[in-house]
Amino acid sequence: MGQVVRLQELGNDMVQVTMEDRAARNTFSEDLIKGIVAAFAHIKNTPSYKVVILTGYENYFCCGGTKEELFRIYKGEISFNDLGFFRLPLECEVPVISAMQGHGIGGGFIFGLYADFTILGRENIYTTNFMKYGFTPGMGGTLMAPLRLGATLGNEMLFSAENYRGGELKERGVPLKVVPKAEVLKEAIGLAKQLAEKPRLSLATLKAHLTAGIKAKLPAIIEEELKMHAITFHQPEVAERIEALFGN
């Protein structure tokens, strides 16, 4: 799993995946991606696990693409879909809980929304900030943000690319649990314990049913997002914005 992603068994067939790339502040570094892939591979090969908790460290849950990755996409060397790890919480056989104890930024926030349950911290920042860089959203965000947050708020976040505190999202009626950031992991463990009381086969069967619609829609959504990227990502202004925003 590497040093930046830790897997910890919590007992009662629960497992916690902690992302802690301090050097990259939990952006999509090569080490973080490799660690996430390895963690979910281990979970897939461990049939005793019933519930997964996905969390970050201190003020960071997950913070999206690195400057280098965004420039590589700008140059046409890779696409957002090449970072295919973001689907792992959805593809995991058993329920996944995103315990967003810290900020969820851009693709990092979308990554967390692929979990079956998401718990937000009241004080933290959550944003789908793709358009702030001048390009349209990716990673299936145009499906997952409206689906998880509600169509009106999800679309607003995608268009505006503004920062929203968890408390503000709660006031706006987001259908996710929002608690003080210090209580996020505790809430996640409490929920995991409730789920772990059920038979694994039943949990996996229900998840397969409830996620079937998302899995069916996602390939076409990502294809359309990549078409939009072909139009929007290679504008000179995008390179200028990447440089300026990462410089701040």
Query: Which residues are marked as active site?
Result: 229
CATH number for the domain including 87? 3.90.226.10
Structurally, the chain folds into a number of domains equal to: 1
Structural domain contains residue 197: no
Report the C-alpha gap between 66 and 12 in whole angstroms. Answer: 36
**Is there a domain that residue 25 lies in?**
yes
CB-hemisphere CA count at 13 Å for 130? 27
Question: How high is the pLDDT of residue 119?
Answer: 99
Tens-place pLDDT, residues 39-96: 999 999 999 999 999 999 999 999 999 999 999 999 999 988 888 899 999 999 999 9
For residue 118, the cross-strand partners are 98
Largest CA distance in the chain: 54
The answer to whether position 195 is within a domain reads no
Is residue 123 assigned to a domain?
A: yes
pLDDT in tens, 112-121: 999 999 999 9
Within a domain: residue 196? no
Torsion over CA: 22, 190, 89, 2 (sign): positive
3-state DSSP call for residue 30? helix
Does 177 fall in a domain? yes
Those residues whose C-beta lies under 8 Å from the C-beta of residue 149, and which sit 6 or more positions away, are 113, 157, 169, 174, 175, 176
Residue 12, domain extent: 5-181
Report if residue 147 sits inside a domain: yes
Predicted confidence pLDDT, tens digits, the chain (248 residues): 559 999 999 999 999 999 999 999 999 999 999 999 999 999 999 999 999 999 999 999 999 999 999 999 999 999 888 888 999 999 999 999 999 999 999 999 999 999 999 999 999 999 999 999 999 999 999 999 999 999 999 999 999 999 999 999 999 999 999 999 999 999 999 999 999 999 999 999 999 999 999 999 999 999 999 999 999 999 999 999 999 999 86
Q: Is the pTM of this model over 0.95?
A: yes
In a domain, 34, yes or no: yes
Q: Is the dihedral of CA 4, 109, 47, 10 positive or negative?
A: positive
C-alpha dist (Å) from residue 56 to 18, 93, 121, 216: 5, 21, 12, 29
What is the rounded CA–CA span in Å between residue 13 and residue 16? Answer: 10
